[in-house]
Chains A and B, each alone.
Chain A
Amino acid sequence: MERVLLLAHVESSGEIGKTTREAAQGAAEIARGLGAELVVGLIGARAETQAGTLGVDAAAFLAVSGDEFDEARYASDAAASTALVKASEATVVIAGATSRLSRALPGVAQRVDGRITTHVTGAEVDGGQLSIERWYYRQRMKATLTSPRRPWFVIFAPGIYGPAPASDEAVTCRAIGVPAAGPWRTRVIGEDAGSSEGQTIRPDATLLFVAGAGWTKKQGDGASHVPEAAELIRGFLDRSQASLGSSKSLVDQSSEGGDVIPFMTHLNQVGQTGATPRHPKGLSTCCHGEEPHVVGWRFVTERRAVNLDANCGWARGKADVVYVADAFEVMKRVNELLG
């Protein structure tokens, strides 16, 4: 008989995050499919006060609480998660791919001699058996797989399930102690935006706007127009609230000492060695659409591109629409229309 643990943490804001709520929905569906008991294990400063807001119907709620568990530190997250996995006696551990748990759970799986499958993009229960779907070779091929090994840790990518509805139900939580907690050798100092101009990456945006190296290349008049490009891109982001992505060639220009768009960093890079964001729509500009870039668009549903070259990669079956045009001209007018 399987026993499913939803392993989750409270965000530093004191709330439960979206990725966690999605995993909660996934865990509830999988537990139902397996005919298994669902247990919730929560980590946070005052985790017990948040367990009820998860909105899942669980057989038990377990919590590791304390100020030290508010900090996103591997050692304390791994210790707390190990304690919860052991206390729950779970055979299947489900979590959302938050940065904290993505970092902590591989080590926890190792500690409890389990197995872990990450970046999971789908799950199915058939005849009492759980199988999952994930991609290999950076979104190039999709596999379904299962593991007989228990506990099996299954970490869901964001956006796979709709979030479990928030609830204000009070639940009874069992406090779980963490043996040999601290002293901790790592201290979290804080966070920074990664870019000089604040937040340009907006995971919840409808549109992903990708800028390629063409924005910094010599144009028809024989000169490059980098400040103008930066102004157009910034203007578009402000008006549209799109999330900003980049090709590798464009972000590499800063480490190679080239002319740069000031707010572009490696965090914006999409593709093989960058991010694979999930957005309903994507607009690519001045980017050639080479395969190592386009693998990062796997989860972008509708795709359009503006490129001077009618034979760019996008035109070869990688975008729905390619406008063969000068992106400087087009984006200037798009910004005017957006007002």
Chain B
Amino acid sequence: MAGFHIVVCGGMVPDPLQSLEPVVGPDGPALKNEAMLPMVLDPWAAHSLYEAAHLAAHAPGSKVWLVSLGPKARLQQLMMSIAQKVSFELVALDGAAGGFSDAYEIARALAEAIEGIPDLDRTRLLLFGGCASAARDAGVTMSMVAERLGLTEQFLGVDMLETDGDRLRIKERVEGGRYRISECDAPPAMLAWATGTLPIPPNNPQLGMQNMRSIMPALARAKSIPLGSGDVAFGAVERPVQRRETRVVKDMPPEDIAREIVAWMREG
């Protein structure tokens, strides 16, 4: 069996522990102090990268690419940590990484970058990414990239992939906390992942050094991508005040708390 050619699309998003505030920028809405916020690899895309590396390790002849769009200097920072996790070859695109940019334009840039990967065998392609970003949170980009690449087998919210030769068995999240199980005869296919089943790999500095040797030239080659809000016209963008007047109940016996909770459950 020839291995899989796994291309992972993963952008960067602000660390989820940061507080975010919208501002109006010259090209539409943006985040206050965006350039200063610590960034992480988009969490669901990160899971798909770990799944890709795991699959590649078990399917001889496989290879993993990570296609990432973001401001070049910040991508370099991010790669310092991601490169220590798993083995991959980077395809970098230099452009704004915000959630208010147009998914359609991003999909075009990602698809063109994938088309430009020299030794990619598109008949062996498994296109991976997150089921939604933590920024735009739309769940549309991967499907649009896949359409541009002519992939008709697509899966969204994937938590499990098993392979038997070329055959793919996939579990996708559906309504009511259930899984849909599908079988696809062979690559090419697109899988937009949810959490998957793997823990976050520990840092391996040696692997990091090895990866960085190809990552630095990839960053130097990064094509610049102009991005904006596309055809979308934004009205207000606001962070609604969420603060509640919390009643903190101390020293109430558990029996009384239980009674209050049950009464509250039965209200309304």
Contacts and interface: CB of A to CB of B under 8 A. Distances in A.
Interface residues of A, number: 98
A286 to B, nearest CB: 14
A269 to B, nearest CB: 7
A136 B184 contact: no
B137 interface: yes
A143 B134 contact: no
Contacts of A131: 235
Given A185-B184, A187-B183, A193 B235 contact: no
Given A143-B236, A201-B177, A273 B247 contact: no
Contact of A186 (B13, B184, B252): B184
A86 to B, nearest CB: 16
A107 B154 contact: yes
A199 B178 CA distance: 8
Nearest to B42: A273
Given A99-B172, A337-B258, A141 B239 contact: yes
Contacts, number: 275
> What bracket does the count of chain B residues touching chain A fall in?
35 or more
Contacts of A295: 16
B140 A146 contact: no
B29 A321 contact: no
22 contacts: A73-B182, A74-B152, A75-B152, A103-B156, A107-B147, A110-B148, A118-B138, A119-B138, A136-B100, A136-B137, A137-B13, A137-B99, A137-B135, A186-B184, A195-B177, A199-B176, A203-B176, A255-B198, A273-B43, A316-B246, A320-B245, A334-B258
Given A144-B235, A317-B244, 11 more contacts: A19-B175, A99-B175, A137-B14, A141-B22, A189-B169, A195-B177, A199-B176, A314-B246, A318-B242, A330-B254, A330-B258
Interface of A: 17, 19, 72-75, 78, 98-99, 102-103, 106-107, 109-111, 115-119, 131, 135-138, 140-149, 185-195, 199-203, 206-207, 240, 252, 255-256, 266-269, 272-273, 280-281, 283, 290-292, 295, 302-304, 306, 310, 314-326, 329-334, 336-338
